[in-house]
Amino acid sequence: MKNLVVLLFLMILFQNNYSQVKTNLKPEPIIDMHMHTGLPHPVPPGTLSLCRPEPCEGDVAATIDPAAHLKKTLEIMDRYNIVKAFVSGFDLQNIHKWKTAAPNRFITSHFILNPGKPDVQKLREEISAGNLQGMGEIGTQLMGIPPNDPKLEPYFALAEGQDLPVLIHTLGIGPYMANFRSAAGNPLLLEDVLLKHPKLRLYVENAGYPYKEEMIAMMYQYPQLYADVSTITWVIPRTEFYNYLESLIKAGLGKRIMFGSDQMVWPEKIAEAIEAIEQAPFLTKQQKRDIFYNNAVSFLHLDESDNIASQR
């Protein structure tokens, strides 16, 4: 009987200590290079998350209220230790709200859907005032406008001059919009931009999916070009995402692929995007850390003095 009491006591002690150790363990830091404050158009409540290819059905209902969206995103960032995120918004007021909520954690930027909006001069002022630290997402492909359209020149020139990270939608898939063109998203179209702006810090969302050969060509030829994984971590079948990512890794590009969730109005998808990388059977621990964190540190020119890993 005495032995049993001692055993029980030891078990309770062990359990308490164990759960204490567990809660003290903070996950390793993550940088999310692709978030949005919402979508450019109003979304009906209950709109399910995107998926491809049809027929398919999304599994997460949209968070419509902007304040709730910010709150949920921050909660998930805390849970997964996302220490920094590039967030692209559609109106300056809302972008400011995100920045105010967590000044050190957001790299704020204005979405560009149509060239001329926002006005380049207005952007320059906001950048000078410290309200914006990035450019894009440049999403003009959604309107059928390719990246090498001269109308985008002033934006690239501004970003190059100010040394800003630039996120661009140049790939084969996108939202179902009347003017969207897959052909306007061929990564080869970036060549004109990269030649004209050799110092531009450009990264391509979804790693240019599914233009694998074109993306490899661009990344081999232009060492300054990076990619993020964004939506393909959750919008296409997991096996297809793994096929694509593994090809890029096998091509030797593991040091220039960054994590991004592209959560839009479904912040829960951040967790799914993280899980997709964590569970990738072909990635080593080091390759996962590079994608989650190290590659973004290099791309964003962050260093120890930025103390990013402890920014909360």
Query: What mask, x for binding Zn ion by CB under 5 A, covers residues 133 to 172?
Result: ----x-----------------------------------
Contacting Zn ion within 91-110 (CB under 5 A): none
Residue closest to Zn ion, measured at CB: 262
3-state secondary structure of 300: coil
CB of 124 to Zn ion, least distance (A): 23
Q: Given the complex with Zn ion, which of 262 and 272 has the nearer CB atom? A: 262
Q: Given the complex with Zn ion, which of 205 and 290 has the nearer CB atom? A: 205
Contacting Zn ion within 47-86 (CB under 5 A): none
Alpha carbons within 13 angstroms on the beta-carbon side of residue 254 total 15
Q: Quote the CA–CA distance of 58 and 272 in Å, as a whole number.
A: 13
- Report DSSP letters for 64-82, one per residue: -SHHHHHHHHHHHHHHTTE
86 forms bridges with which residues in the sheet? 107
Q: Given the complex with Zn ion, which of 144 and 306 has the nearer CB atom? A: 144
CB of 228 to Zn ion, least distance (A): 9
Q: Quote the CA–CA distance of 29 and 169 in Å, as a whole number.
A: 26
Binding segment toward Zn ion, per CB under 5 A, in 2-10, 40-48, 70-78, 261-269: 261-269
End-to-end CA distance of the chain: 50
Q: According to the binding rule CB under 5 A, does residue 228 interact with Zn ion?
A: no
CB of 9 to Zn ion, least distance (A): 55
CB of 128 to Zn ion, least distance (A): 25
Binding segment toward Zn ion, per CB under 5 A, in 5-13, 211-219, 254-262, 287-295: 254-262
Binding segment toward Zn ion, per CB under 5 A, in 44-52, 112-120, 151-159, 259-267: 259-267
CB of 34 to Zn ion, least distance (A): 6
Q: Given the complex with Zn ion, which of 64 and 217 has the nearer CB atom? A: 64
Binding segment toward Zn ion, per CB under 5 A, in 5-13, 217-225, 260-268, 274-282: 260-268
Handedness of CA 116, 69, 128, 298 (dihedral sign): negative
107 forms bridges with which residues in the sheet? 86
Q: Given the complex with Zn ion, which of 90 and 287 has the nearer CB atom? A: 90
Binding segment toward Zn ion, per CB under 5 A, in 175-183, 195-203, 216-224, 256-264: 256-264
Alpha carbons within 13 angstroms on the beta-carbon side of residue 87 total 35
CB of 203 to Zn ion, least distance (A): 12
Binding segment toward Zn ion, per CB under 5 A, in 43-51, 131-139, 143-151, 267-275: 131-139
- Report DSSP letters for 186-246, one per residue: -GGGHHHHHHH-TT-EEEEGGGGTT-HHHHHHHHHH-TT-EEE-GGGGTSS-HHHHHHHHH
Q: According to the binding rule CB under 5 A, does residue 262 interact with Zn ion?
A: yes
Q: Output the six-digit token pair for 151.
A: 């109308």
Q: According to the binding rule CB under 5 A, does residue 191 interact with Zn ion?
A: no
Sheet-wide strand order for 257-258: 135-138, 165-168, 201-204, 226-228, 257-258
Q: Quote the CA–CA distance of 193 and 112 in Å, as a whole number.
A: 16
Residues that bind Zn ion (CB under 5 A): 137, 262
